[in-house]
Amino acid sequence: MGVVGESVFHRMRNVLNSIHVSAGLINHRLREFHVADVGRIADMLEAHSHEYGWYLTQDPKGKKIPHFLGQLSEELAHHHLDTLTELTTLNYHLEQLEYFLTVGQTPLRVGGFKDTIQFATIMDEALASHQAELNRMGVQVCREYQMVGEGILEVSKLLRIVVNLVRNAINGMRNITDRSHRLTLYVLPCPDREGFVRLQVADTGIGIPLDCLTRVFSPQAPGEPSDLLPNLHASAIAAKELAGSLRVWSDGPMQGAIFTLDLPVIHMEGKR
């Protein structure tokens, strides 16, 4: 096998490994869907179809149903979003595998599995997977997109970063119900680095204490929900792998936060 053939084989093997990981995660998450609970609630309601009012307001078990349905709805929405995100990644890896099988050569672009992208489109795709939840929360969504050139980057890696940032913003606003909220997405040329683009996600959520800003992306970042730590930590690592940087700023607790992702418009492997 020649050098090119070995490279193609190595890349195909990596893609297959990624496909197996994504498929395993999707399978695991689907098994966590509490679909059976929906059936049990339906059976309970059917058994008391002649006395809904009394059952839901007076019966010890029936009174728990509305609250349980609310919790179940949030949990199903969370799992649904995670599954959609993983399906996006899986679809991208399948497209890469199809490319190798049909063309039989490595991509012409330098580096890993890259594609030509519109940065505004990436932001919109990340937002779309959260739109239903944002609508339920009544969050105003603002887009501030300036004209920037197309980029050549690893689509799945960039999309994961932005999805994580949008999800983090939503979680930061979810439990603050005494005011309206706004989520703002920015795309603009990086003002201090030629050839770089700046993507920003700003929210009006719980904010971050000033003394914690430097630790937000660490595995044990203080003041953050535990289920977000791996995502923020992994996002910072992914940004470095794309030869970019990820940072955050907040004026303090209850002041919201803004995450800033600076990336080269064209990511050349080995350039840092």
pLDDT of 243-271, one tens digit each?
999 999 999 999 999 999 999 988 655 44
pLDDT of residue 96: 65
Q: Decide which of 3.20.20.150, 3.30.565.10, 1.10.3430.10, 3.40.50.300 is the CATH code for 108-272.
A: 3.30.565.10
Cβ-count burial of 241 within 10 angstroms (0-12 exposed, 13-18 middle, 19+ buried)?
A: middle
CA angle at 155 for the pair 244 and 231, rounded to the nearest 5°: 65
Q: What are the tokens at 119?
A: 């940065």
205 within 8 A of 257, measured Cβ to Cβ = yes
Given a cut of 80, whether residue 93 has pLDDT beyond it is no
Q: How confident is the model at residue 227 (pLDDT cuts 50, 70, 90)?
A: very low
Query: Does 214 or 14 have the greater pLDDT score?
Result: 214
Q: What pTM was computed for the model?
A: 0.59
15 within 8 A of 96, measured Cβ to Cβ = yes
Secondary structure element (H or E) that encloses residue 12, with its range: helix 3-32
Q: Of the ranges 152-156, 177-181, 186-190, 226-230, which is most confident?
A: 186-190
pLDDT of residue 100: 62
**Nearest-angstrom CA–CA distance, 214 and 105:** 43
Cβ-count burial of 118 within 10 angstroms (0-12 exposed, 13-18 middle, 19+ buried)?
A: middle
Given a cut of 90, whether residue 142 has pLDDT beyond it is yes
Q: Among 5-14, 172-181, 240-249, where is mean pLDDT lowest?
A: 5-14
Q: How confident is the model at residue 3 (pLDDT cuts 50, 70, 90)?
A: very low
